[in-house]
Structure 1
Amino acid sequence: MFLYAYEILGLFKIVADKTPYLTMEEITRAIRIGPSRLGHPCFYHQKDIKLENLIIKQGEQIMLNSVEEINGEIMVNCGVLRNHQNHSFTLPLSQEGEFYECDDEHIYTLKEIVQWKIPKNRTRTVKLTDFSNKWDLTNPFPKGFYGAVILKPVYEIQGVMKFRKDIVRILPSLDVEVKDITDSYDSNWFLQLLSTQDLFEMTSKEFPVVAEVIEAPQGNQLPRNVLQPGKTIVIHKKCQASRILASEIRSNFPKRHFLIPPSYKGKFKRRPREFPTPYDLGIAKSEKEPLHVVATKAFHSPHDELSSVSAGDQFLVQHSQTTEVLCEGIKKVVNVLACEKILKKSYEAALLPLYMEGDFVEVIHDKKQYQISELCAQFHLPFNVKVSVRDLFTEEDILAATPGLRLEEAITDSYLLISDFANPKECWEIPAGRVNMTVQLVNNLSGDPGSFLVKTLVEEIPEEQYYMMRRYENSFSYPPPRPPKHPSVEETKLSLLNLAEEKTVGLPKSPKSLHVDRSKKLHSSQAGLDSKVPVGCQNDLADLEKDKRKTGKTAVAGTSASTEIFKNEKRQK
């Protein structure tokens, strides 16, 4: 048996409970159902359910969306998905039958499972996902343990005392008698405390409000002069705001992850991207400029109609198409990427199979500096950059020290707009889902607050929250299945040492947009790079190699809440 804080880093998959629920009322009493995406549990029934205008088939997945009173009767709003169309219906609490949990393919944090996914009077079996193995953290489980764990929450009571502002925590092991005296006291004598989530669930009409901070959030990326215990603040409104999710470019874990606001004033320069297959090249190409890459891995084509690749070959990506190849006397149609191979003084057409395993590195000719908004407007994400000019409007720019950043995607998140009561014109966006703060409402703010200046900060998020953001955001596209490898396929990985031994080959005369500045002298650490690769590409390869040697550390903080975990007997043998 183990005892762990429920905010321990790790992502888990839920094992469906095999014990059935016998009525809808039993489900609603045991499981939280609410507006959050976590509050929509799914069940299936052992037999067909015949409704007035719909038949729910045996084994069909039923999603429970909400519970409400309709015509004096408590009903559960449900839905089934058929042919990409949702069909809604209601079931009364008295609905009987054998309802079983559906398999859940999503991944959750331990905190989410404790708050939403553990039924009352039942335990929950979960499995640790392989995402957690990538984090440079101490594994809380015994060495060699690869089985499931059974979660049983241990709760504590948080309360407030009369005329006191601090929060009292009562442990569940405390053996005391409790008497209900609610009817004998005026609840106004006690503090009415609200969490960040409580504030966000208020209606828009209830803002702005004046509040006193009782418990301040932790973290050095927040306006500490505003969010302090005892400080009076103004909560102007709740809002949705956009951020760019970015990750540090490095080959080892842990990587740092950031949320960058559009108002960030630093400037970026482009960094070379790496592509594992021609399929990825086809996705990354744009109409704005040609995609110029250099191959870092050899590939020998098993078909005469397709091109072979040597380490150091350079290509201009054109477009995807199909072509016929002769395979054991039979003509087959394959998907290929049409490119122009850069020779000494000319170009040669090349067809690369999409399934080809060959690494490519982008050659950057663009030396312009960009604002974050310009990058998002002009280029498709994901995109690689490096901070060239730090944000001079912030005290400490945490992005400036990174070797490079991969701008992954634009997201929208929930924020509270907060200001110091003494300076209501200067507001800060505080993330509602990632800041734990407790406040006491003082009163509503009367009068029109007028216009105000909204300030934002770059937020560094831990690995766990990064995966939480990305798990439902993306539906990844994968290249087509690779056919069996041909016996003659040669795979020779190109290293910087290999490059240094190649012969000198120049680029042909190219359009102005592809001009390579040959006058720039190589840094001494790059002097041995093969001159077959242009100067820009030599620098790109050297930078990538340098980044892969760097390491970093991440600090992790725990919390006071805990979960009791029982070992399953399943272990690796």
Structure 2
Amino acid sequence: MASVVSFHHYICHLDLSSLPRVVKIYSGVYFQGSVYEVSGSECCLSTGDLIKIVDVQLQNITCKNVNDGHTFELPLNFKGLFEPSQDPPHRKPKKLFPSANSLSRASYKQKLYTLQEILQSEALWQKRLKCAEIGSSEFEIYPVYKVEAIMHYRNDVVKINSMLDVEVIDITEESQHIHFIKPLMLSQVLTMDKVLPVEAEVLGAPVSPPVFQSDWMSYLYKGCRIHIHNQASSWKILATSRKSKGHTGHFLISSNYKGRFRQCPRQFSSTSELVPALATTKKLQVVVTKDYESSDDDFPLLSIGDRLELQTLVRARSPSATDTLVCYRDNGDEDKELIHLPLFLEAGFVEDVRDKRKYTLAEAVEHLRLPCEVKLVSGDGAFDVLSTVSVLTLEAQIKEDFFTASLANEPGLTFEIPPKWLDISLFFTGRPVRATPPSNIPSVEELTESFYYDLLKQLPNNAAAPPRPPKRMNSTLEKRHQKTTEGKTAGETFKRQFSTSQNSRFLGPKSRSASHLPLINPNEYTIEYRPEKLQTPTIPCKPTAFHDDSDHDYEEINEEVKGIVHKMGRASIKH
């Protein structure tokens, strides 16, 4: 059995021609395990861990002065020559008079060695050395190596310093059957050539939120083995079912779906919603579902049942004008009336669909502009998820990479897994997989609601924003008139309050009660009377809307004004 040695001792005595070698961590600094920085990240080396050494490279050389203990590094290309010392590493005390044997050893000329020759000989680099290029003292050298190794559950080759303070034992002969696991992400398999089909074992469940509401999602746990057969090349359609009893379903339909659809009429609540619909089709015919009576003589009246054929959008030439939709109204007997509808018209419309054709999914994408509403006419087999859905909204076409996979223990349970949305950690087991891919792949997958909205954020939004309804001129004039009225009211209120406050000074607190004062507006300033002290009126800030052409300054009251106010007060007391 191999002996337990330090990791540095093992590397220094390792025969590089025997690589790769497998060692087991026997003990470290801590009782259970040791944490070290390996390749720039922390790596835990617990007792019993296996390391497969694949390469050893000299990193630096530490030189120590035996006399004073000073250490320094020697460059790897050092050209000096070393002379091994005859004294053992632990020398005995020197005698005062040398013997004959010592004189003969001193007169014997030693052989000189280069640095590379010293490192290649274990007997030499363990001795004390002399080097004239460094100094007259004796030195000890300590080589430090960079070890490249493979560890369990590590994606890349790790680089370990040979000075790692752990003890190891060589188990290369006993570990011929051990397979070192190299973890991979499912998305990395996309970049590999000629690896499929392959069997893989899941190392960890997906950390992202659930994507599909399918049974096979629950099997993707740690230790589950799956067979990855090939990379699927089909495109998908993102679809949503119409609300039924408060429930909305979101689906991903494969291009291999065998069901058939029929076009459904679209519904619109205003003329502004008709503009983007008109841009996606060559001919748009609608039926009015809500009466509309305009107060403007320039726009026509609409009644329930009117048939309109939309032509084009006419932009207004001036800011005061309104954008309009040019339509033909069918009055029967081939009598068509040309009308203009404003964009802010709030009425109900439903598309007049006369297409009774049954489309496949590929034909619906080709002939019907997405997004569109379709009705499922015939499903895809007895286990079709869409069999309980009547109306679907085909929203967008998705081109994403998928893997066709199945469970190793249940080959009949097949599914398509997207690496971008469901990136799981796994490793290849090396076991054989059948060459023929399965054929019973589900063509419809139901999405979770949370992932559906995340997917919408990732999709490009090519739809044009609906036109903004223009401002009505009458409403603008009303706002201006209201602002002018408020300005005049504020000015008149200011005058009345000022006059009342001046009267209160000369009339005294007992002349009139505060309850008998007329309240012009609840939001205006009111004067509070207190019997203890006459209140000095406070002049409020001059309103910006109040304009007065007089030159009076209400902060300074001249004698003439005081006389007039005094006469008015006496007249009110007599009455």
Q: TM-score, normalised by structure 2?
A: 0.44
Higher RCO, 1 vs 2 (CA within 8 Å, ≥6 residues apart): 1
Give 1 or 2 for the bigger CA radius of gyration: 2
Select the structure that is richer in helix. 2
Structure in which a larger fraction of residues adopt strand: 1
